Amino acid sequence: MSIKIDENKCIGCSSCVEVCPGNLIKLHTIQGTQNEKKVAYIKHERDCWGCTSCVKECPKKAISFFLGADIGGKGSTMTVENTKDNAIWTINKYDGSTFQISINKKESNKY
Ligand code: SF4
Ligand code: SF4
């Protein structure tokens, strides 16, 4: 499992760097459309164990999480957007279709 970071969406806030429990994400400088800018990249991709902390923390939906073939995802990706009360997960399926799951954050630990 791994993630993919969209350099065009990333604003270099470093939230993902701070939350990754494996210290796998770093910032580097690239040439943007006008100026140089800092963006995040995953340095040790193979060590990612898919905790999704970075995906949930990113304020710009710049991080996609790959749903590998081993769990039926066949390369589909997920992003998450946080509103005040909900986490809205968007699944971009391998066939081009999308669907969303909205989870009330206050209810997410109930079962
Ligand atoms: S999914 Fe978890 S382990 Fe993988 S890069 Fe993101 S925070 Fe780190
Ligand atoms: S949390 Fe998102 S916007 Fe912030 S540095 Fe990481 S990828 Fe970029």
In a domain, 38, yes or no: yes
- What would the pLDDT profile of 12-40 be if each residue is shown by its tens digit? 999 999 999 999 999 999 987 788 999 99
Please report, for the domain that includes residue 22, its CATH number.
3.30.70.20
Element (H, E) at 103: strand 98-104
- What would the pLDDT profile of 36-81 be if each residue is shown by its tens digit? 999 999 998 889 999 999 999 999 999 999 887 766 678 889 999 9
In a domain, 86, yes or no: yes
Nearest CA to ligand 1 atom 7: 20
pTM, whole model, 2 decimals?
Answer: 0.85
Tokens in use for 3?
Answer: 């993630």
Q: In which domain, by residue range, is 30 found?
A: 3-104
In a domain, 70, yes or no: yes
Q: What is the DSSP letter of 3?
A: E
Integer distance in angstroms from the first to the last C-alpha of the chain?
Answer: 26
In a domain, 31, yes or no: yes
Mutate to test the pocket of ligand 1, among 26, 51, 58 (most ligand atoms within 8 A of CB): 51
Q: Indicate the number of domains in the chain.
A: 1
In a domain, 110, yes or no: no
